[in-house]
Chains A and B, each alone.
Chain A
Amino acid sequence: MSHHLFILSPSDTPIYSLTHYSTKPAASIGSPLSANLPNWSTSAFAGTLTALSGASSATQHTTGGTVRVGGGQDRHVIQMIANASLDAIEDVMRKENGMYLKAVDKFNEWTVSAFITPGNSKFLLLHESKNDEGIRSFFVEVWEVYVKTMMNPFQSAQRTIVSQAFDGRVRASAKKHL
C-alpha cells in the first residue's frame, strides 16, 4: 500500500513530494467491474488512457505478469490526480475551518486528504485506505518540520525543498503514522 505526499507552495507548485510504501497490506476493494479488462489497443494513446483511467493498477492485481510496470503507481497519473483534486480542495477549504480536510476527494482508487497551513501551503496525501488519525498526526508532524524549514531565511516559499533533514524527518514520520 502506498501513500503519496505532495507539499504545494501557496501558488500550487509542488515543492516536495514523497512516495511512501507502507508495510500494511493493501485492501483490495476493486470493483468486479474492473476485472478482466480488455487489452485492446496498441497505440501509445491507449496507454495514456489506460493509465489515466486507473486501469493499469487493476491489471497488475489480476494478471501479475503484465507488461505495464508501475501501473497504479504511475507517477504521472498520481500527479494528475493530485493536481485535479486541488479543485475540490480549493472548494472545500473555503468553507471548512479546520486545517485538516480528511478524504476531501476520491478518484479512481485513491482518496485524497489535505492539510492547509495558515500560510496557504497545501499538503496533499493520496492514500488507498482509511486511516484518519494516523494521517492527521502525520500532517501535524510534517507541518512542524515544514515550518522549521521555512524559517530558514534562504528558503524561498517557491523553491523546492532540498533539505536532507526535512526529507529524513518526513520519512520517519510517514513510517510512524502511515
Chain B
Amino acid sequence: MDTHVFASLAQVRILLVPIGPISSTLFEKHASEIRSFDSIRLGDIPEANNDERARFTPKPLSMGHLHLSYPSHPPPAPHSPLSLIRPSHFPLAVIGIASCSQTVNISSVNSQFNSAVLTMFSGDVPYPLAKNCFVFEEGDGTSSISGNESIPGLVIFPSVMGNTKLYIGTLLADLCSNILGEFSVLLQRLENPLGNEYLNASSLPTLPPLSEMPLSLDMTSGRLPTLPSHNSHPEISRVTSLSAPQMKRNSSLGVPTAKKRISGIGAASSDGRLYKVMADLFLLSGRTQDASIWYTEALQLFKPSVDSIWQASALEGLATISVLDAWSTGQGLQTSSNTSREPWSESSDKLTQATALYCKPSIIEGEQNMSLLSYLYCTCVLRHSSLLFSIWSAKGWGPLAFTTMLHSGPIPYVPPTVTQETRDSWSKVERLSMISGVSRHSISNVIAQAHGPWLLHLGVRERISILEVMASMYSCLGYKRKEAYILREVLGCIMDLIVCGREDGSHPPFSNGAGLGIHGITANSTTQVGVRLTERSDGNQSVLELLKRVCRVLGVNLDAVKTVDLLDSPISPATDDTADNQEPFGWPELQVGVIRESIAVAEALPDFLAVAQYALSSLKTLIDVLTPGDQYHLYSTAARALSTAKRRGSSTGVEFWLSRPIVSIALAPLPLIRLPIEKPMSALQPRPSDPNTILTGATDPFLYNPRRVDNAQDRQLVIENEVLEFVVLLHNPYAFDLELECVSLSTSGVPFLSEPIRVVIPACTDQPVILEGKPQRTGNLVIRGCIVQTPGGIRKEIHLPLATFDEEERCSRDRSSLQSESDRFKYSGLEALPWEKAIKRQSKHLAKGASDRTIRYLECKVVPEQPLLRIRRTSVTHGALMLYDGEMSTLQMTLENISPLAIDFIRLVCSDSTIAPAQQALAEGNLSVFDTYETEYALINQPVFSWNKKDDMTIPPHRKTSLTISCFGKVGCTAGTIHVSYSYVHRSAPDVSDVLHTRQLSFPLMVTVYHMLECHGMDILPFPSFFPKHLDKSSKERIPTAGIDNETNWCLFAVDVRNAYGSPFKVSVDRMQDGVPDAGSSVTIPPGLTSRVIIPIRKFILSEEHTSRPIPTLSDRQFVVDKSKLPENEQKVQRELFWYREELFKSLCCRWQEANGTRFGDLSLRRQRLTLNMLETLRSETIVVRLSLVRHATGTGSAVPVAQKHGKHYPPSYHILRLRTKITNMSRTPHALTVNIHVEPTEHMIHDGALSEIPVGTLGKNESQEIDVGICFLSHGRFDINAVAKVVGNPHQHEKGMTHLACIVGPEE
C-alpha cells in the first residue's frame, strides 16, 4: 500500500514484483535485501554514456543522495493524469524478482516479466523508465542457466555467489543511472512547443504521445533520436550545460538570464509547468540546488496566472527540499538554537500555502479530475502533518525526524519514542510536545484538514490508505477518540468493498478485501442462492480487531463475553463480579450506534460467533442504555447467529453471559408431617428431675444462648431418598423473555440426584423455579449454587453464598464504598472507562480481600429414612369437640403407618389454648402465692388432653393403630392440638449415633366448653347436736348421717350449686375419709335453680409441722420471692387455711352427671375460699368442753340429767341445779387449764362460787375432769350458757375448748 512519507516527492520509486512461481517468503527475503538500499550516493551512480541523456545524471564526485523507495503495487490506472505533475507518484523502475531452478527456461521468465510490466502500466503513462529482472538461483544449480544469460534486462544471481548485496547495490546504481538518463528523454518530449501545449492543455496534463512527436517536431523522422535536446531550447540547454560543471554545490548562476529568454518562447502558455517538471525531476535525481532554482522560477511564473494546482505542487517540492538539505548537511544537527523561528517553519508555511491552493482549484474538469485533485489535496495535508508529526515524535528537528520523514519501507515508520505506553500516558505524550515545540493539538488540526466530504471522490484504495494514515497519526498522538472516528470510516470502506464484492456475483471477489469468496451463482431459476465456495477468514480477525478498538474507545467492551470451546471446557465457577450499580459511562447513543454497526459488520463478514459475542457483550454491559427494542433485537440476533454457527459445525460457543441470574436459593420447607426433628437419644430416658416444662412454657432463662443460635443455623434436616424441593429465584433484567437451556443445582457432599430443567424467564421479572432432587445417602449436603446454561453457551456454575451476617455486611460495605465514590470524579474521559477504573481500584480490593473470608453455602443435613404416619380417622367430627365444664371424655385417633419402616416410638404431646395465658400469668409473677398454686395446679393436674400410655408402642409397616386420649373440659379452652411424635429408633443398622429423628403429626381440634354448674357459698358448719339420728329416706340421701357416732367430731360441709345451663344435672359429693365409711350425697338440679349440697365430714386436725410448711410451688421455680410481707402470725393463719383446704378437697369428690344422659365430669370446688370460721369448725378441738345440767334427785341424791329435747335443756326454775362442765384434753401434750362460764342473762340466775377463771389444773393426754357449779334460774325463759376452757398463760393460744348450752326454763313439771 501507499505510505505517505513526507519526502515521497524526492523518492525514486522502484516497484518490486514477483515473477513466475516464487513463494512469498522467498520473495520477501529478496525484496528486503533490495529494500535495504534506501539511498544511493550520487557519486556511486555511473555517468551516462550519452550526452543527451546526461542532463540528470550526476557528474563524478558530485555530492548528494538519490532516495529510493520500493512500493509493492503500481498506482491504479486512473492516476495516469498525475504522470507529469507528480512523477514521483509512479514507479520509475520495475524490478522483477524471480526464483529459478534448473528446469526453468530463462527466456520464459523474461517474457513473463515483460508481460507483467505491460499489464501493470497503461500506455498513456511514460513509466516505468527502466526495468530489470533479478533471477535468484535456488538450490545448487550451477550448470544449466548460465548458458543463455545474454538476455538484456535480466540478471541472474547464482546461488553460489557470495556478497549478493554488493552486487544488488551495483545493479541498483545502474538502474538509477538508466532512470536519470530517461529523465532527459522525458523532458525532451516536453521541451518543444507541442509538448508545452500538451503540458498546458489541462490542469492535469499528459505527455504528448510519441506518434505525434516526430511529425510535429521535425519532418525528418530519421533525425529524431539524434536531435539534441538543447536544440529546441537552446537557452535552457545552455544554462544546463553551463551550470553543469559547477553543479556540485552551487548552481545559482545563470538563472536570471534563463528567465529573460524563456518569456519569448511558447506564446500561448507560460513555461512555468515545464520548469516545475524539471524541478521535480531534479529533485528526484537528488540535485536539490537545481530543483530549488527551477521551483523558484516556476513559482515566479505561476504567480500572475491562476494555476493553483501546479503552484501548490511546486510549493510542496520546495518544502521537501529544505528537509532534504537539512538532512544532507550535517544531518540537521542544530548549531544555533537562538533563532526565533523554528527551522521547519518555512516548510510548514509553504505546505500551508499549498494546502490552501489545492483546496480551491481554479478549474474543475469533470469527475475524474475531482478524484485526483482531492487526492493531491489530501496527500499535501498529510505531508504537512507528517512533517509536524515526525518532528514531534522525534523530539524535535534532528536525525530521527529526518529518518522518519525519509523512511521508505513498505510499512509506515513510527519512531521508537512513540510506544504504546507513551500514547496512554498524557505526561509522556506531552513531554514530546514540550521538547519538540510542536503541540499535539496543532498536528491534530492539520490532520483534520484532510478530512472532509472530498474523501468520497477518492478511489477506494487511496481513501483507505489516507484514512489509515490519519488514524495511525491520531493514535500516536494519543487522540484515541479521533482515531476511533477515522477507524469507523476505514471499516466502512472495507465493509463496503466486501459487501459490494459479494453483490456483484459475476465478478471475482476483491483481492484486497477481507478475504471472503462468495460467488453468487445466477441460476436459471429466479431464486439466487449464494454458494460459498471457499471461506477465507484471513482478514476477518483484523476487521474485528478494528471494531473492538473503536468500541473500547466508546466505552463498549465487545470482549465482555468471550468465546469458548463448547466441547472441552469444564464447568467453571463464576467469578463473583460485583458489577451491579455500575456508573454510566460513555455516550449512550453512540454506544448503541456503534454496537449496531459492529453487529452489522460481523454479520457481513460473516462471523457468526462474533455476532453472538458482540450482541451478548453489549447486552451484558449496556443494559442501562439499550431500549427494549434494541435488547430484543440483539438477543434474537445472537440466538440466530449461535444456531447458524452450530449448524455450520462450529464447536465454539459463547461463555456464560448473564450476570447474576440467580437471586436466591432456598430449601422449600418440608410439609410439617414430613419434617424430621432431631432429638438426643437421651430424650428417650425419662428424667424425673426435669422441671415441668408445661409450667415454664419452655422458656430459655438466657437472653442470649449461643447454643441455640448454633442450632438455628441453616442446617435444615432433610431425609434420605425423599424428594427435596428448592426454590430458586431467577432474575431477568432484560426486556425480552430469557431462555435458559438448563438450570440445575450444584451440590457437593452427599450425592444428589436431580434433573436439570429448562426455564423461560419472562421479561423484567423475578421467576421462582422449583428444582427437585433426592439425596442418595446420609450426611451433609451443600448447595453451592446453580449450574446454568444459556442456549448455545456453556454451562456455568454460579455460586450463591449464604446470606450470613458477615456476607451481608461485606456486600453492604462494598456497595457503600462504591456509592461513596459514585459522585466523586477522580478520573475523567478515557481514564474513567469502567475497566480502567476497575484496574485502578484493584489494589484496594486486594488488600481487603486478603482477609480470610469463608464463604458458607446453604447446607442440609441428610438423615436416614424415616417412617411416615398419618391420621386415618378420629372420633371427632369436623375436628370440633364440645365439652361441659369439667367433663371427662375420651377421643379415639387411628394412626396408619404408610411407610415401609416400622415405628417403635410414639409420644403424644398435647397443648391447648388455656396453657399459654396461664404460663404467661405465671411468668409475669404478679400472682400471690396462693393463686400461683392454683394456676399451677390447674396446669398440671387438669390438662385438657392427656394420654398416659407408654412411649414404646410399635406400629409395623402399613399397619394401623388407635389411641385413646382423655379430654377434660376446662372453661376458656377454645382450641387444642395433639402432637404425635414418632420415630424408628431401634434400627437394625449399626448406626450408632447419639441422636434420633422424629417426625411429628399434629391434630388440631376446636374445643368448645360450656359452663353449666356454678358453685358458690361453700360453708362448713358444726354438726348440730340435735340432729335426728334417723331420717327419712329422701333426707338420708341428701345428708348421709350413717356412721356418725359423736356429733362433736363431725361437721357439715355445704355448698350451693347453681345450674346455669338448659338441662338438669345431678350433682353428687362423695366423702372419702380415713377411718370413716365413705358416703355420698347427691342432688339433681333443674335448670336455673340453685341447690345446696350438704355432707357431714369428720373433723380432723393436722399436725403443727404439716401446717407450718410454706405453700408449695408445683414447679421447681427458683428465686420465688414472697412479695407480700405478712407478719408471722398472719402467715401462719394463711398456711393453716391452705393446708386444711387442701385436706378438705382431698377428702371430697364432687362430680356431676347429666340427668338424662351419659356424660359426666368433675365439679371443681377450687374456686371456693376457706374462711377462718370454717377452719375453726373443721378442725377437731384440742380441749373438749361439755356442759350438762344435772339435778339431784330428791330421794337418792343421785344426779339426774335435766330433760332435754331438740338439743335444748328444759330445767325447772327455782331449783338448785348443777352445771357440770367436763373438760377433756384431746391434745397430745398436757395443759394447765382454766374455764370461764358465762350465763346470759346473768341477772336472772344465781350461782355458787365463781364462774370465771375456774382452775381446772393440769390435764394430761386424754385426761378429763368435771367441775360442778351450783346454779339456779330465777325466771322462766331462755338462758344461754357458754363455757370456754383456756390454757393458762397463753392468752393467744387458739387451743381452747368451748361449748354452748341453751336451756329453756319453765315451771317444774
Contact = CB atoms under 8 A, between A and B. Distances in A.
Nearest to A34: B453
A120 B829 CA distance: 10
Interface in A85-137: 85-88, 90-92, 94, 104-109, 120
Contact of A88 (B454, B479, B604): B479
Interface in A34-89: 34-38, 40-46, 48-50, 52-55, 57-59, 75-76, 79-81, 83-88
Contact of B377 (A33, A35, A37, A48): A33
Nearest to B360: A32
Given A41-B496, A43-B499, A106-B445, A91 B584 contact: no
A76 B593 contact: yes
Interface string B449-485: 0011111110000000000000000100011111011
Given A31-B359, A32-B364, A120-B825, A37 B453 contact: yes
Nearest to A11: B832
B489 interface: yes
Given A11-B585, A76-B589, A85-B481, 15 more contacts: A10-B828, A41-B496, A45-B499, A52-B492, A54-B453, A55-B453, A57-B453, A83-B485, A84-B479, A87-B444, A87-B481, A88-B444, A91-B479, A105-B448, A107-B448
Interface stretch (B366-374, B385-393, B708-716, B935-943): B366-374
A8 to B, nearest CB: 9
B1185 to A, nearest CB: 98
Q: What's the interface size class on B, roughly?
A: 35 or more
Contact of A33 (B361, B488, B593): B361
Interface in B1270-1290: none
Q: What are the 5 closest A-B residue pairs judged by CB atoms, nearest first?
A: A49-B492, A55-B453, A10-B825, A34-B453, A87-B479
B590 A55 contact: no
Which of B361, B444, B587, B588 has the largest number of chain A CB atoms within 10 A? B587
Contacts of A85: 481
A107 B455 CA distance: 13
B832 A12 contact: yes
24 contacts: A9-B825, A11-B829, A32-B361, A33-B359, A33-B453, A36-B370, A41-B496, A45-B491, A45-B604, A53-B455, A53-B456, A55-B455, A79-B589, A80-B485, A80-B488, A80-B590, A88-B479, A90-B828, A91-B441, A91-B444, A91-B479, A92-B441, A105-B448, A108-B453
A145 interface: no
Nearest to A109: B452
A157 interface: yes
Given A48-B597, A120-B825, A120-B828, A33 B492 contact: no
A31 B373 CA distance: 12
B583 interface: yes
Nearest to A92: B441
A49 B496 contact: yes
Interface string B498-521: 011001000000000000000000
B1076 interface: no
A158 interface: yes
Contacts of A36: 364, 367, 370
A19 interface: no
B159 to A, nearest CB: 49
Interface in B820-842: 822-823, 825, 827-829, 832
Nearest to A13: B584
Residue with the highest number of chain A CB atoms closer than 10 Å, among B448, B481, B493, B583: B481
A156 interface: yes
A85 B489 CA distance: 16
Nearest to B825: A10
A84 B482 contact: yes
B554 interface: yes
A130 to B, nearest CB: 16
Interface string B582-621: 0111111110010001001100100000000000000000
Contact of B589 (A48, A52, A75): A75
Contacts of B457: 33, 37-38
B549 interface: no
A86 B553 CA distance: 12
Interface in B149-198: none
B1102 to A, nearest CB: 82
A159 B361 CA distance: 49
A52 B448 contact: no
A31 B492 contact: no
A52 B829 contact: no
B607 to A, nearest CB: 15
B1098 interface: no
Contacts of A108: 451-453
Contacts of A83: 481, 485, 554, 587, 590
Interface string B563-597: 00000000000000000000111111110010001
Contact of B451 (A13, A45, A107): A107
B374 A33 contact: yes
Nearest to B358: A33
A49 B585 CA distance: 26
Contacts of B585: 11-13
Contacts of A104: 441
B455 A45 contact: no
A9 B822 CA distance: 12
B14 interface: no
Nearest to A159: B584
Contact of B480 (A48, A80, A87, A159): A87
Contact of A158 (B361, B491, B584, B590): B584
Contacts of A57: 453
B589 A50 contact: no
A50 to B, nearest CB: 7
B489 A49 contact: yes
A83 B822 CA distance: 22
B456 A14 contact: no
Contacts of B485: 52, 80-81, 83-84
B543 to A, nearest CB: 11
Nearest to B502: A43
Nearest to A37: B456
Nearest to B366: A36
Contacts of B65: none
A38 B368 CA distance: 10
Given A76-B590, A79-B589, A53 B448 contact: no
A59 B452 CA distance: 12
A34 B454 CA distance: 5
Contact of B500 (A10, A14, A41): A41
Contacts of A49: 455-456, 489, 492-493, 496
Contacts of B588: 14
A43 B495 contact: yes
Nearest to B482: A84
Contacts of B479: 84, 87-88, 91
A79 B828 contact: no
A11 B825 contact: yes
Contacts of A38: 367, 456-457
A170 B65 CA distance: 63
Contacts of B373: 33
Contacts of B601: 45
B440 interface: yes
A58 B451 CA distance: 13
Contacts of A42: 500
B45 to A, nearest CB: 40
Nearest to B373: A33
Given A50-B456, A92-B441, A86 B481 contact: yes
Contacts of B481: 83-87
B492 A45 contact: yes
A13 B586 contact: yes
B364 A58 contact: no
Interface in B835-887: none
Contacts of A53: 451-453, 455-456, 489
Contacts of A87: 444, 474, 478-482
Q: Name the residue among A11, A43, A50, A53 with the largest chain B CB count within 10 angstroms.
A: A11
